A and B are shown apart, each in its own frame.
Chain A
Amino acid sequence: MLRVRDDDAGAFAELMKRYEARLVRLMHTIGPRRDMAEDLAQETFMRVFRARKTYEAGAKFSTWLFTIAGNVARNAARSLGRRHEVSEVDAPRLNDAPSGPQLLAATALDASGMIPTRIVELAERAEVVRAAVEALSERQRMALMLSRFENMSYAEIAETMGLTTKAVKSLLSRARVNLRELLESYIESGVIPSEVDFSEAANSNMDDDE
């Protein structure tokens, strides 16, 4: 990053290559819409670049990058929310098409007449997990991604998200407990029960984020 700060274009390309996959994955999860992930990753890189002169030697680059990413995702959610005339800032992505929690619940229900559980049995667990993650609040999602996929400690997550370590501890505990609740029946039986409405969980978190 120090080379980028000193206007080294090659170093910036290297930096982007090193972080692009991780950043896109993060944006897939915390951004307001999955199809915006790459655009948001690009916006994050642009902000990093524009702010390169303010980067301080010794600061951990990933912490800085993911802090900016969190801001970019939140701003995008806000402007998208305004466009949709939705007042919730950190709402889980209920407007998402085509496969947010609502759709997942709806899919299970639609199928219930004929093939109740088969759709999900068919290796759709990735969708199930994603729907469960989307039912978490934006802050829980962010903390979860930094902990699970960036292997950040509570202190590093706290620094990235501008929270106390204690708040991160509580946030991650709630995220884990929520995932346990949301995925319990799936873990036990491999089946997502049609009678469970993930969107209810998402709605309740939307209220929370308001």
Chain B
Amino acid sequence: MMSISTLHDESPIDPDDELLVSYLDGELSREEESALENRLVENETLRDRLQTLQSGWDLLDDLPDSAPSLKLVESTLELVVADLEKSNNSKTWTLRSIRWPAMMLIASLIGIGGAYIFSGSLKDYQYQRELDDLAIAENLDAYLRGRDIELMRLLAASPNWTSMISAGREIDEFVAENANAVNETTLSEREEVVQQLPMEKLRQLNLRWDRFNALSEEDQAAVRRTASAVKSQPDSEMLLNTMQSYAIWSQSLTAEQRDTIESSDTLARRAAIDEAIEQTQIAISQRSTLKLDEQATELIYFALQQIVRNRVVNGQDTTKNHLERMKERFPDVEDHYFGTIAAMVFSGSSRTGNSNNNSSRRRSSWFGSGERPSPITNSELAALRLVIPDSTLEILDLIAHGDPLLETITLRAWSEEATRRHFPMKRPEESTYLERYIATPSRDRDALDLLPPKEILGELSRETPFP
């Protein structure tokens, strides 16, 4: 086996590599940069080195996403509270703000109804005011992040925004959780509504309440002003909806994008909104594979097989030759078609989402060598519409909302997903003992469990255990 030797932290490094990396990282002085650029113009080898250094770096875009669980902040806050109480250091915290989560936690642990504690304590202090604030706290993120009413109106009026939100909701995004349970009730109903909330909702409301109370007096007043301003608008419901969606959406943006969108520079703001919406729409297209059911992926895969057959019939050499090679390598018909479909589908894969053009170009070249079938074309992708079931077509139309680019991106993602789901299963002889054990029918597994370990392995090694 060939091994790759890598540079250790103390290994000497080629000065040119170091220079090129500093150049790529923008860490050279103006003079050093000019000198290097002059060398790059003249020296092709150096240019190649620069490109390969960058291409490995670009691949980092493909590191899997690390979406933290929704509970991370919540559970850390609980630990913070426990920490504070343990160290008996609560005097400088707003008493209410730290006691709530702890009380709720204890209440849920010992089975006391959290609602009782919550509503009971509400009566303690400034009752009416707190009930009022509770509705504000329920939408705290919306009021904090979406406080610029003009921006919210601008977004709500944008067809791209509306399309993005409806597409996002199709894949369960931009749904503000538990945002209107209290807000939509009158003050007199509120206490009763709170008491009847399920534990999970109550807990979430409690956290928001805690966060609201932890704000400074000044910030609380500002949030109240925003809430009151929204309430007095004729389009208050639409505004609050937009604010809720914006609060969720803005978390997926970079700090720079958020700053520009929330800035007063109208032109820059519009450009940043358009760019961020486009990015999100592409991400939604790619994530929409989650909504594909088995029937849809089966039909899409069937259509991909037809596309390969058509290419062969029409004498497209690269596809034909690739399929021939696959036939030599894999005797099974399903397998060799799978190989060619995978090469065709993944050849054209280029995520436009979060990467720069250089890396997209680089990616598309991975599968694009002369020996592979040409990537699936846009017209071939468009033909997939003919086989997709109506219910899935509705999802496609909602996501792409008539934009041909988004439709192509979505169909490409779906083709990749259909192919992935058709990855041939391991043959029995390749499976591990554990996999064979799991695959054993339960009645036979009971018999296996009663055997001595050696005999279990013996049984699992047979082609058919318990024939």
Contact = CB atoms under 8 A, between A and B. Distances in A.
B211 A13 contact: yes
A8 B7 contact: no
Given A154-B27, A190-B367, A170 B56 contact: no
A78 interface: no
B8 A183 contact: no
Contacts of B97: 9-10
Contacts of A200: 1, 3-5
A184 B52 contact: yes
A16 B60 CA distance: 25
Contacts of B52: 180, 184, 187
A188 B5 CA distance: 19
Contacts of A25: 63, 65-66
Interface in B366-417: 366-367, 369, 416
A126 B76 contact: no
B349 A177 contact: no
Given A129-B63, A180-B56, A11 B25 contact: no
**Chain A binding surface, main DSSP class:** helix
Given A154-B25, A208-B10, A122 B4 contact: no
Contacts of B3: 196-197, 200-201
Contacts of A13: 73, 77, 207, 211, 214
Contacts of B416: 123
Contact of A147 (B2, B25, B346): B25
B215 interface: yes
Interface in A169-198: 169-174, 176-184, 186-187, 189-190, 193, 195-198
A174 B56 contact: no
B9 A137 contact: yes
Given A46-B76, A122-B423, A153 B27 contact: yes
A46 B18 CA distance: 38
Contacts of A147: 25
Nearest to B207: A13
A133 to B, nearest CB: 7
A13 B68 CA distance: 15
Given A46-B83, A196-B3, A207-B8, A177 B67 contact: no
B442 interface: no
Interface in B43-93: 52-53, 55-57, 59-60, 62-69, 72-73, 75-77, 79-80, 83, 92-93
A45 B17 contact: no
Nearest to B59: A129
Contacts of B149: none
A67 interface: no
B218 to A, nearest CB: 11
Contacts of B130: none
Interface in A125-143: 125-127, 129-130, 132-133, 135-137, 139-140
Contact-residue bracket for chain B:
35 or more
Given A8-B214, A13-B77, A196-B3, A208 B8 contact: yes
Contact of B1 (A114, A122, A153, A195): A195
A56 interface: no
Given A16-B72, A170-B18, A174-B13, A137 B63 contact: no
B11 interface: yes
Nearest to A185: B4
A200 B27 CA distance: 32
A176 B8 contact: no
Interface in A65-108: none
Contacts of B419: 122
B335 A196 contact: no
Interface residues of A, number: 84
A17 B9 CA distance: 34
A144 B7 contact: no
A169 B56 contact: no
Given A9-B214, A10-B215, A125-B62, A196 B22 contact: no
A196 B5 CA distance: 10
B209 to A, nearest CB: 11
Interface in B150-185: none
Contact of B56 (A24, A183, A209): A183
Contact of A121 (B56, B98, B346): B346
Contact of B22 (A113, A169, A180): A169
B146 interface: no
A126 B64 contact: yes
Contacts of A135: 6
Nearest to A10: B214
Contact of A129 (B24, B62, B251, B362): B62
Nearest to B90: A7
B424 interface: yes
Contact of A198 (B4, B72, B207, B420): B4
10 contacts: A8-B214, A9-B77, A42-B76, A46-B79, A122-B419, A126-B62, A182-B56, A187-B59, A190-B366, A201-B4
A-B complex: 4 closest residue pairs judged by Cβ atoms:
A200-B3, A208-B8, A190-B366, A10-B214
Given A137-B8, A176-B56, A190-B369, 10 more contacts: A7-B92, A28-B64, A122-B420, A123-B416, A135-B6, A154-B27, A174-B11, A176-B57, A179-B60, A190-B346
